Amino acid sequence: MSATVVVGTQWGDEGKGKLTDLLAKEMDLVVRYQGGHNAGHTIVVDGRRFALQLLPSGVLYDHVTPVIGNGVVVDPGVLLSEIDTLTASGVDCSRLIVSGNAHLIMPYHQELDALTERHLGRNKLGTTKRGIGPAYADKAARVGIRVQDLLDAKIFRQKLEVVLKEKNLILAKVYNRLPISADDIAGRYLDEFAPRLAPMIGDSVGAVHQALDAGRNVLLEGAQATFLDLDHGTYPFVTSSNPVAGGACVGAGIGPRDIAAVIGIAKAYVTRVGSGPFPTELTDEVGDLLVERGGEFGTNTGRRRRTGWFDAVMIRHAARLNSLSEVALTKLDVLDTLAVLKVCVGYRVGDRVHRQLPYHQSDLHDAEPVYEELPGWQEDTSGATELHQLPAAAKEYVQFLSEQVGVGITRVGVGPGRDQFVRFAAP
Ligand code: GDP
Ligand code: IMO
Ligand code: MG
């Protein structure tokens, strides 16, 4: 068998948790391949809400082995408290495998993330302040500390002392902060976290390949999204990893030929949290209505999300970058009350209309969306379970998006619940 990727096609929070959970019914392994606890993936089962940060969204099923891949950055304290919370609510997390090659988020990463943001002032990126950028920076600079280092106190200490020397200089001389003590960190990471994490630390790449070789189903769950990708997103207003489907190969340890399907996930409109360009952003009462009806507040930071009309130019580009085989559309129900819907089908920059994302980002800042208007349906869709129960105008809206994007929309979300997905077309 081969692997399926779930990837966000906008700026995050499209409903990756919900889709992953739905698909996980048929999966044996669910692997997170990048990001860290900057992610917040929500699953709602029988009215109970689970907001996962590090654990793969397949964890709610007993038959699934959840895997944290090598491409993830792990804050061990956060991971353990997430495990404790889930365990307390009756979820068995004992099958979890955490890649030994994943990098650790250290206390100085978190502190430096917040300090850098403050230093940037009004040019701040609006990060989640979870230490994600500094942890990936250390990985690239080859001074990161890996999960497997928790299993060797001597190596952990050695690496920590080398890296802390530099971090403490930066904290003191650049930011006028107190130094961080190696003993304090070692006390928590080696004495408190390591013994609990040790049984979960393992060879995630081996586990993925064993499953693939045995003909099992593997789902690779992206965090963040295409336009937050370090290489392909709206740099510098991006995260520090590669959420695009190609990142799934690196972050889980497979080659491209092992991937059979890439499911892109998009909201029926667009949201973004944090700074950066957003051509279809709405700052009027329609924007407020989307926030209100969509509950558009960060899953774990609580920040209000920016909202805007569906942008087909973005998803056309996401289709290319991820080789999308299909798209799942979420939150159609949020549009239920609107009389008119707009869809951005191109960007006007100067006297030119771009159908594909302009290469130069200044063009994106200046882009004036070219909209097509479609009639709303003004009917409640949240109870629909089958296609024929959707109002005609809702089906036309989805069909229009699908044609504009050039990829089939196979599922449509009409509510947060696990089963609130309507099959729209065959993949
Ligand atoms: P993720 O980060 O991509 O997993 O998405 P989040 O969980 O951060 O944000 C998506 C939010 O929308 C969550 O609160 C979900 O419960 C909710 N949601 C997902 N799909 C739908 C849908 O089809 N309709 C509605 N109304 N809410 C949805
Ligand atoms: P999920 O997986 C939405 C955004 C932050 C900020 C930028 C960089 O739930 O979709 P970082 O802390 O990663 O250095 O912040 O990326 N961001 C997200 N926005 N959903 C997410 O995750 C995000 N993870 C990071 O708001 O703009
Ligand atoms: Mg989220």
Q: What is the pLDDT of residues 199-243, one digit of tens each?
A: 999 999 999 999 999 999 999 999 999 999 999 999 999 999 999
Nearest CA to ligand 1 atom 8: 13
Active site residue 13: yes
What confidence tier does 423 reach under pLDDT thresholds 50, 70, 90? Answer: very high
pLDDT per residue over 131-184, tens digit each?
999 999 999 999 999 999 999 999 999 999 999 999 999 999 999 999 999 999
Nearest-angstrom CA–CA distance, 178 and 370: 52
Q: Side chain identity at 250, as an amino acid letter?
A: V
* Number of neighbouring beta carbons within 10 Å of residue 286: 17
**Atom 14 of ligand 1: nearest residue by CA position:** 42
| Distance in Å, CA 229 to ligand 2 centroid | 10
Phi, psi of 71 (to 5 degrees): -80, -5
Coil, strand or helix at 127: coil
Position 390 scores a pLDDT of 97
| 41 catalytically annotated | yes
Q: Is the beta carbon of 127 within 6 A of some atom in ligand 2?
A: yes
Segment 342-352 shows an average pLDDT of: 96
Rg of the Cα trace of the chain? 22
Residue with tokens 């992206």, as numbered in its chain: 222
User: Measuring CA to CA, how many Å separate 349 from each of 11, 123, 181?
Assistant: 22, 24, 53
What is the bridge-based pairing of β-strands 310-311 and 340-349? parallel
Mean model confidence pLDDT for the chain:
97
pLDDT 10s digits, 23-67: 999 999 999 999 999 999 999 999 999 999 999 999 999 999 999
Question: What's the 402 CA to ligand 1 centre distance in angstroms?
Answer: 20
pLDDT in tens, 362-371: 999 889 999 9
Tokens 């997390």 identify what position?
A: 93
pTM above 0.85, yes or no: yes
Q: Residue 53 is which amino acid?
A: Q
Mind listing the pLDDT tens digit for each residue in 76-112?
A: 999 999 999 999 999 999 999 999 999 999 999 999 9
The C-alpha atoms of residue 86 and residue 312 are separated, in whole angstroms, by 37
- Contact (Cβ atoms closer than 8 angstroms) between residue 396 and residue 384: no
* Cα–Cα distance measured from residue 228 to residue 284, given in angstroms and rounded to the nearest whole number: 25
Rounded Cα gap, residues 389 and 377, in angstroms: 12
Q: Structure tokens of 36?
A: 């860290």
- Which among 33, 7, 47 is positioned nearest to 420, based on CA atoms? 47
- The encoded tokens of residue 418 equal 């696990």
Residue 301, pLDDT > 90, answer: no
Report the pLDDT value the prediction gives residue 108, as an integer from 0 to 100: 98
Helix (H) or strand (E) holding 157: helix 153-169
Show Cβ contacts of residue 348 under 8 Å, excluding neighbours closer than 6 positions: 354, 367, 368, 369, 370
Q: Is the CB of 346 under 6 A from ligand 1?
A: no
**Crossing angle of the two packed helices 245-252 and 204-213, in degrees rounded to 10:** 110
Distance CA(57)–CA(8), nearest Å, equals 14
Q: Where are the alpha helices (DSSP H) in 204-305?
A: 204-213, 245-252, 285-294
Q: What's the pLDDT at 426?
A: 81
